[in-house]
């Protein structure tokens, strides 16, 4: 494995992505960093189609052996642009992060970090999304070191298919991390708060905020494993089909809509 593409949703100057790139330097990798030019968190898999994408090469921020670009678009834009326009060679691995904040459970549906990595999988490139599970902590050392170890392991023994690994690292000292576990997605619920405000022109606007609702979680989920101080690795795929419901829905369509039941597993 020679070529790595790194992106994120916190922006090209974010501490997390700089820590990730620095940790991977010196490992015989050709590293290209393409990130949004500003924070684009919680943009999901949005693409920019109503205006052009502008790019600027970034110097004196990353190590000299790293090629870095800032892009005016979303996280998904950056990966698509890198794969199809900026990189002379197809990367062997797409990395996203290290995100400042957790991406657990249903967070992955909103996450720009996960969506950037998913764009790699859509193009047949194995991808990893890294997140540090705290907005307050600035200690990315343990997360960056684990990312270095994981990339090295994938180089030695490639993943069996082009999957996305969603990796969350507890924001605690490395010695306090209990290990690494493979998990399924849990459920993260938020208590959404829309704060009503009035601008100087008298126009009403709302500012979205909220907090995580702490609920019980199954032991095999990423939510619980993080609470137990484990690094979590969850394999994800873009196919959201609920396969177990195809037969049931087929029967329902036949009974209620008078249409032939076509899709049976």
The ranges of the chain with pLDDT < 50 are: 265
| Chain centroid offset of residue 251 CA | 37
Tokens matching residue 165: 């690994």
Q: Is residue 106 part of a domain?
A: yes
**Domain of residue 20, CATH code:** 3.40.1210.10
Q: Is residue 263 part of a domain?
A: no
Q: Tell me how far apart the alpha carbons of residues 136 and 191 are, in angstroms, rounded to a whole number.
A: 20
Q: Provide the pLDDT for residue 255.
A: 86
Kindly tell me the sign of the dihedral angle through the C-alpha atoms of 112, 116, 121, 122.
positive
- Tens of pLDDT, residues 171-209: 999 999 999 999 999 988 878 788 899 999 999 999 887
Q: Tell me how far apart the alpha carbons of residues 174 and 259 are, in angstroms, rounded to a whole number.
A: 58
Say what the alpha-carbon torsion angle 230, 233, 234, 237 is, to the nearest 10 degrees: 160
Domain that holds residue 101: 3-186+216-257
CA 31-111-208 angle, 5° bins: 135
Q: Is residue 211 part of a domain?
A: no
Q: Is residue 200 part of a domain?
A: no
Q: Is residue 264 part of a domain?
A: no
pTM above 0.85, yes or no: yes
Structural domain tally of the chain? Answer: 1
Q: Tell me how far apart the alpha carbons of residues 214 and 221 are, in angstroms, rounded to a whole number.
A: 14
Helices (H) and strands (E) in the chain, counts: 6, 11
Q: Is residue 170 part of a domain?
A: yes
Q: Provide the pLDDT for residue 39.
A: 95
Tokens matching residue 255: 């009974």
The SS3 of residue 55 is strand
User: What residues pair up with 198 in beta bridges, in sequence order?
Assistant: 204
The SS3 of residue 128 is strand
Q: Tell me how far apart the alpha carbons of residues 209 and 195 are, in angstroms, rounded to a whole number.
A: 7
Q: Is residue 209 part of a domain?
A: no
């Amino acid at each position: 494995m020679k070529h790595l593409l790194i992106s994120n949703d916190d922006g090209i100057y974010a501490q997390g992505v700089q820590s990730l790139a620095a940790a991977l330097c010196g490992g015989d990798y050709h590293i290209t960093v393409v990130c949004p030019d500003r924070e684009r968190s919680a943009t999901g898999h949005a693409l920019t189609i109503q205006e052009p994408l502008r790019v600027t090469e970034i110097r004196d921020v990353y190590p000299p052996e790293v090629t870095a670009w800032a892009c005016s678009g979303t996280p998904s834009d950056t990966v698509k642009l890198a794969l199809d326009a900026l990189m002379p060679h197809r990367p062997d691995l797409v990395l996203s992060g290290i995100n400042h904040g957790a991406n657990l459970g249903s967070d992955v549906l909103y996450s720009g970090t996960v969506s950037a990595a998913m764009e790699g999988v859509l193009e047949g490139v194995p991808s990893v999304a890294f997140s540090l599970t705290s907005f307050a902590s600035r200690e990315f050392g343990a997360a960056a070191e684990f990312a270095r170890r994981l990339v090295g392991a994938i180089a030695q023994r490639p993943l069996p298919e082009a999957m996305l690994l969603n990796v969350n690292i507890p924001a605690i000292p490395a010695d306090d991390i209990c290990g690494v576990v493979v998990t399924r997605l849990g459920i993260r619920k938020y208590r959404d708060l829309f704060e009503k405000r009035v601008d100087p022109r008298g126009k009403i606007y709302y500012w979205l905020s909220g907090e995580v609702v702490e609920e019980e979680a199954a032991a095999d989920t990423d939510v619980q494993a993080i609470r137990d101080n484990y690094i979590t690795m969850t394999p994800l795929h873009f196919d959201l089909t609920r396969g177990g419901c195809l037969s049931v829905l087929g029967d329902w369509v036949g009974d209620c809509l008078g249409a032939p039941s076509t899709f049976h597993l």
